Structure 1
């Protein structure tokens, strides 16, 4: 039995949240766990079976307030968890508040830390988060990285980390999406290439780079599936660039999978790194080719199964889009390569590997 916590409000968008819910919640979770997220302000969304909420406010990153936040999380976790029922801790992220809180709430339990990517990014920019990351790396019995690139980045931030603790376990996508994806539309791009951006529009995801790169492109139609507030903050830039973006809303995953089937290309302009890029793998499983910036993590997960480009060079992106639109065999070849790549990453394999690692650290 695992105890794990993600200090994000229930209902938050993002690949880390979806992976967390896939692994630990539901009527028949792949990994039996007491799984916690934060209670959101206002009305709580409908919860997945097995997810518990912590009514702790004041999430922050630095200073004395961060220490108080961690202490309150620790107290809430101690009250909610019977230590005798727990075998191992799964520490989601090496930084942020839930990780030190869970370690302090159950100090005698074995610990497996899971790198998600945002922990590395925030540790680079926040002194307290770097301290927590290094403490977590030192105190964990094993550290799981979904790509080798995340191990390289971690060792730059915490060079004293014992290399023998680091275990490569790729993240996975739901098995049923690989075996029974939504039916694709039969439309073949001719006059326009139907592009889809799906995900957060935070700076590291490359929203502004996407706008600049698509401004000179011809023969495209762009759809955006993102949190509303993030889309609205970039909408004026889309208008100034003359890009007519169709906003789809922030889609639940089954809706997003159907949207994949109605487009010709997923665009991923991430600027810094991706732990793995689960949305790209889900798109590939649904037969949607991917055009991506080959940043660490994403390059490893996709490689030659997708089309790399440089979203920092608008002319290069326009040329690549023109080639994809007009060359009859390119998109079908990418579609076939993407399907083969997605089949390498079933969620069941991730669950089995984490189970095996848990037995290992307990032995």
Structure 2
């Protein structure tokens, strides 16, 4: 039964654009209607469809549109949706999209899904000072208008309060989710490797990352130089693409790690469950601003333990598991030592059933959608 309605404003549509914010938007559109929240959504992309859940999703501009055209199209589309659907509240997943909606909101409640500090992330990737300041201004304009905030972790709640001045009582923590059934495959590790063409009999590490500096891939590659001395046949498989790909490949060559590190490039989302299942261990070597770590959760859903650096919300993902899954630091030595201990049995790792059970209990999408719906109802009350 419909209890309330929401207009979701996103960055992209997950089947078309892969990212954490897009993943959350996509799955909330699928699961919120089952919690009594009718959903209309606007995103950058080419989507125009009504989902099986009843959610209606439309794009306001193609991904190739210039920034001025995007903003103008978003303003027009949002004003039209507010007039036609008259939703009870608006939920923003990206500040640049939502800023166009501010004049049309009037007294309608606005909930912000804070997926990360846009300006701070840009600064960490080397953006210019003017670009960072403009992004921070856009964020502040949207955040000053919001009545509630949803964050993925306590770490991002702290950033929201300390760097953006949001009162803590307006912040709710709802972690990211995963479709548990999709990752719980019947394949054995051996069968998964055979299907992927990965070698049998070698310890395989997997990391699924966007290839940018703050993800820590340079440190992870550096750690392999020492790790191969302790575990001679170890293999690191890196799934993902990004601007650091060429630099990482050069680093692999300079260290003589061609037989120990493989850059796979983009791996389709449909193949990821099998890749997680095929690995002995996943590693999240993030260096900064990791609000949650969805790929760590996906690995656990597949029954594969994951080692994480003590950054942002990563320790919160593995909290409650019986194992030593948080690395001592973010540098190559700490990563290499932790992985070596895990592969040689010195470091405790949870079993596959424990990993899957944690995900089903705390992170399955119906659980996350119910918690999100509760925040929306609180904003309306």
TM-score (norm 2): 0.79
Q: Which residue of 1 aligns with 2:75?
A: 74
Cα distance between partner residues in 2 of 1:342 and 1:139 = 34
- 8 A contact 1:5–1:102 mirrored in 2: no
Residue deviations 1:226-274, cap 9 Å, x none?
1376534532222222223334342333310111111111111111122
Q: Secondary structure at the match of 1:267?
A: strand
* Pick aligned residue for 1:6 from 1, 5, 10: 10
**Shift of the alpha carbon at 1:303?**
3.4
Supply the RMSD in Å over aligned alpha carbons.
3.2
Alignment of 1:335-350 (within 5 A): 335-343=352-360, 344-350=362-368
1:29-82 Cα deviation digits (max 9, x unpaired): 76532222213xxxx5898844322226223xxxxx6xx753442123324554
Aligned residues: 347
**TM-score, length basis structure 1:** 0.83
Paired residue for 1:99?
A: 98
| Match of residue 213, structure 1, among 205, 220, 223 | 223
- Secondary structure at 2:319's aligned position in 1? helix
Task: State the SS of the aligned residue for 1:234.
Answer: helix
Alignment equivalent of 2:158, drawn from 152, 157, 165: 152
Which residues of 2 match residues 1-363 of structure 1 at below 5 A? 1-8=5-12, 11-25=16-30, 31-39=37-45, 49=51, 50-55=56-61, 57-59=65-67, 70-93=71-94, 95=95, 97-119=96-118, 121-122=120-121, 126-159=132-165, 161-177=166-182, 180-185=184-189, 192-218=202-228, 219=232, 220-227=234-241, 231-232=245-246, 234-244=248-258, 245-303=261-319, 305=321, 307-310=325-328, 312-327=330-345, 330-331=348-349, 333=350, 335-343=352-360, 344-363=362-381
2 CA distance for matches of 1:46 and 1:215? Answer: 48
CA–CA separation in structure 2 for the residues paired with 1:228 and 1:298: 21
Question: Structure 1 pair 236/182, CA: closer, same or farther in 2 (3 Å)?
Answer: farther
- Tell me if the contact between 1:210 and 1:311 (Cα under 8 Å) persists in the aligned partners: no
The offset of 1:329, in angstroms, is 8.2
Cα distance, 1:186 vs structure 2: 5.1
Q: Deviations over 1:266-303 (max 9, x none)?
A: 11111112221111111101111111111011122223
Change (3 A) 1:317 1:233: closer
Q: Give how far 1:20 is off.
A: 1.4
Deviation at 1:310, TM superposition (A): 4.8
Q: Give the whole-Å Cα distance in 2 for the aligned partners of 1:29 and 1:346.
A: 14
C-alpha change, 1:260 and 1:290, in structure 2 (3 Å) is same
SS at match of 1:53: strand
